[in-house]
Structure 1
Amino acid sequence: MEVLIMAGQLILGLSILVGLHEWGHMAAAKMFGMRVEKYFIGFPPKIFSIQRGETEYGIGAIPLGGFVKISGMIDESMDTDAMSKEPQPWEFRSKPAWQRLIVMLGGIAVNVVVGVFIFIVIAYNEGEKILPASEVNKNGIVASSLAQEIGLKTGDKIVKVNGKSYSEFNEIVGSDVFLGSNSSYTVNRNGQELDIDIPNNLIEKLSELDEKGSFILPRMPFKIGEVIVKSNAEKAGLKTDDRIVSINGTNVQFFDEIQNELQKQKGKQINMVVQRGTQQIPLTAQVEPEGTIGFYPVSLLKFTTESYTLSKAISVGTKDAFGVVYNNIKGFGKIFRREVSASKALSGPIGIARMFGGVWDWQNFWRLTGLLSMVLAFMNALPIPALDGGHAVILSYEIISGRKPSDTFLENAQKVGMVLLLGLMAFAIFNDVWKVIF
């Protein structure tokens, strides 16, 4: 079921984004009087179509893409027979270069607008949940196994990032740290300050282990939230708002300590002492084989939520949206500098589906759809033949030089671009499968 939910979210998200992208091309083409023969979401074979005026609107059986067919344009259809005839006034090739350039950039522009809009709405509706640095450093951090590899320890208090003080937790695990070069943490460990260098290939290791979200966590005092019905926690008598103070005689204060103790006692019975109001109550519970007893924790850390006015949300949302593009540029920089390998850094449809997750969460869905909209705009802007950016480069050359490239050159460029894109797609899919299997 989780696989179906992942696939469903991926198909819906891409259908929305690709549909709007291709609509951008179509709207610009129609605005300049060009004939749009087809507008399809998905690739052939055709499932359904309807003719409206000069345009056939349809849905294809392969959902990971879409296309528009504009008369007189050399595209992935490679309709060379039509191109051999005399140009007609309604054809793409008959229009001025500046109009053709706008048509080619129409899809990118729409994806940027959609991405920015989604991020603005998210910022306005949700605001931002912030854990101040002062709150982080009350108890320090929980260091994952990978964090421990680079020299961090649970309980460390991070006082500086890249030599500078920070204001809130997200700055510790932000893109400036993971995508930057020669980054470092300054930590206070038992009253002594230490500098911990962050390897330039850390982002690759995080990708390998799916560990970015738990690489470093704030150390969390907690109380019992929801007790799962019919769980071992409920059978033991654990209640909402209880605080576990010891397990088998070992004092515990933080959630990571509880997790560690339960992992040691997998499948065994434990004796707990819980604080309930002013009373300390002994309880006995059976630990599940996976090291849980069946409750959700509630953090006692003091988060603050910053709500945004519409004008502030526009500023924050726009910054967040273009931050996606900036991070992609930095990511490609790491690949080109060979600090990370392409196979670890790039994801195809399977990898993207796993990002959506096996639970349908609309907040996460729209956040990822906004991110993908900006990524789609960025990728399409790359100067690769067959992509919008490749067409834009050729058209810019025509505008500047006043010389139009021959149809033969355009056809060959399209073929080269298609080979590159198909090769990249095959690599991404194979890479996804390899990651899942191995």
Structure 2
Amino acid sequence: MGAYLLGVVLFALGIAVTIALHEAGHMFTARAFGMRVRRYFIGFGPTVWSVKRGHTTYGVAALPFGGFCDIAGMTAQDPVTAEEAPHAMVNKPWWQRVAVLSGGVIMNMIVGVLIIYGLAVTSGLPNPHVDTTPTVGEVSCVSDQTGPETLADCTGTGPAGEAGVLVGDRIVALDGEPVESFVQLRDTVLGKPGEDVVFTVERDGRTLDVTVPVAPVTRLDTAGNPVTAGAVGLSSAPLENLWVSYGPVAAVGATAAFTGDLFEATVRGLASFPAKIPGVVASIFGAERDMEGPMSVVGASRVGGELVERSLWNMFWMMLASLNFFLALFNLVPLPPLDGGHIAVVLWEKVRDFFRRLRGLAPAGPANYEKLLPITYAMAALLLTVGMLVIVADVVNPVRLFG
């Protein structure tokens, strides 16, 4: 329990640092271009602690669900004093405004890459060439499930052992269909209670087919209800060479390749995010929780606790890197109040003024953000609602990696 709580606290701290660095990216970039940073806060709501240094007030607020960097004159509707006017963001060139608005995203990308590089030269990165072909580690009897983590007593070698499957066999196909992982094999067998299946196995350099009767057994679903599933009595041998460590130079290429894969997976996850919200709501009322669905700070910290409890520190850090990539991409969504929404407004001003010049007109000046307030409020309300739903789901029906 101590290791679990340590992991929860450390991952929550990692999230806080991620948010702090995101906002710091805005702050550092703004200062580099001579803009005035009024406030730099982690969290929202009532102030817990604050201190003023120069023109900037640094602080921590009560609700640790984000943060903000208040830059003078972020919009034309933001009042500035005569002293602040030369340093107001809205009075700076458009490309500097875009750079500042992108500063948090760039910071998160840098943090994610640095974490991956650190893993590459220490504990290693997942081996892209690992052989995941199911290899039999044990044959055993099968029995009904009697509790969340208990099975009834049984004897014998089970259906697979009785049919002739041996420890060390590599299972390359099931009913003629290629099998790439033990999870695929398990899921297929679960859905065939009472049927015969043909295992194609490699043994001592030979390939042979073994017909195995799938025994119908009782299993408990996520709600604790008994269901009939298939079982053959096999367990997988541990995969070998799962992780590969690199030297400082070789790690650069490995980091770039793995970052590309993780970035692509993050894009897919972000694209599927809206479609997964109904499943999150259903899980609040007892439906099975999607392992790849969205998680809140609460859920992610609980998973971090599970990883530390099992000393899976490489997965812990990899999840934190993935969080940085997700935060970066999510903030690029071109809707206010996200960074991408503000960037879209600045680019719209630039395009608008280009066409005005073609017509012989002067630039129209900064956009009127008051016209965007309905979209901003609606988006903020939506984000808050979705965030609260995910938090509730993470409390009543959390994602559990290890059952």
Q: Same fold (TM over 0.5)?
A: yes
* Deviation of 1:44 (Å): 3.5
TM norm structure 2: 0.64
- What residue identity is the alignment partner of 2:384? L
Identity %: 29
**Is 2:292 the counterpart of 1:348?**
no
**Is 2:352 the counterpart of 1:401?**
yes
Distance 1:366 1:385, change over 3 A: same
- Counterpart-to-counterpart distance in 2, 1:51 and 1:337: 44
Distance 1:157 1:332, change over 3 A: farther
Q: Is the contact made by 2:173 and 2:200 (CA closer than 8 Å) also made in structure 1?
A: no
For residues 29-81 of structure 1, give each alpha carbon's deviation from its aligned partner in whole angstroms, at most 9, with x where no partner exists. Answer: 1111111001112334222222111111122233332211111125xxxx967
Match of 2:258 among 300, 314, 320: 320
Match of 1:108 among 105, 108, 117: 105
- Counterpart-to-counterpart distance in 2, 1:305 and 1:323: 16
The equivalent residue for 2:228 is none
For residues 159-208 of structure 1, give each alpha carbon's deviation from its aligned partner in whole angstroms, at most 9, with x where no partner exists. Answer: 379x8897xx79989xxxxxxxxxxxx962693499xxxxxxxxxx99xx
TM norm structure 1: 0.59
- Counterpart-to-counterpart distance in 1, 2:102 and 2:182: 34
| Count of aligned residue pairs for this structure pair | 316
> Alignment partner of 1:100: what SS?
helix
**Is 2:317 the counterpart of 1:366?**
yes
The equivalent residue for 2:27 is 26
* Deviation of 1:118 (Å): 0.5
Gaps of 5+ in 2: 146-159, 186-197, 203-207, 212-220, 223-233, 282-289, 354-363
The equivalent residue for 1:310 is 248
Distance 1:305 1:71, change over 3 A: closer
For residues 214-254 of structure 1, give each alpha carbon's deviation from its aligned partner in whole angstroms, at most 9, with x where no partner exists. Answer: xxx9723xxxxxxxxxxxxxxxxxxxxxxxxxxxxxxxxxx
Q: Is the contact made by 1:140 and 1:158 (CA closer than 8 Å) also made in structure 2?
A: no
* Deviation of 1:398 (Å): 1.7
> Alignment partner of 1:102: what SS?
helix
> Alignment partner of 2:87: what SS?
coil
- Counterpart-to-counterpart distance in 1, 2:92 and 2:73: 10
> Alignment partner of 1:357: what SS?
helix
> Alignment partner of 1:18: what SS?
helix
Distance 1:31 1:188, change over 3 A: same
The equivalent residue for 2:92 is 95
> Alignment partner of 2:200: what SS?
strand
- Counterpart-to-counterpart distance in 1, 2:91 and 2:120: 44
* Deviation of 1:401 (Å): 2.3
- Counterpart-to-counterpart distance in 1, 2:199 and 2:79: 67
**Is 2:200 the counterpart of 1:188?**
yes
> Alignment partner of 2:249: what SS?
helix
Match of 1:159 among 172, 183, 192: 172
- Counterpart-to-counterpart distance in 2, 1:326 and 1:188: 34
The equivalent residue for 1:266 is none
- Counterpart-to-counterpart distance in 2, 1:56 and 1:339: 37
- What residue identity is the alignment partner of 2:369? D
> Alignment partner of 1:82: what SS?
coil
- What residue identity is the alignment partner of 1:57? Y
- What residue identity is the alignment partner of 1:386? P
Distance 1:193 1:50, change over 3 A: farther
- What residue identity is the alignment partner of 1:133? D
Q: Is the contact made by 1:322 and 1:374 (CA closer than 8 Å) also made in structure 2?
A: no
Gaps of 5+ in 1: 146-152, 174-185, 195-204, 207-216, 221-298
Distance 1:134 1:29, change over 3 A: closer
Q: Is the contact made by 2:133 and 2:172 (CA closer than 8 Å) also made in structure 1?
A: no
Distance 1:63 1:338, change over 3 A: closer
- Counterpart-to-counterpart distance in 1, 2:396 and 2:299: 11
- What residue identity is the alignment partner of 2:254? V
- Counterpart-to-counterpart distance in 1, 2:31 and 2:53: 13
- What residue identity is the alignment partner of 1:409? K
The equivalent residue for 2:236 is 219
- Counterpart-to-counterpart distance in 2, 1:390 and 1:171: 41
* Deviation of 1:383 (Å): 2.1
**Is 2:239 the counterpart of 1:330?**
no
Distance 1:81 1:122, change over 3 A: closer
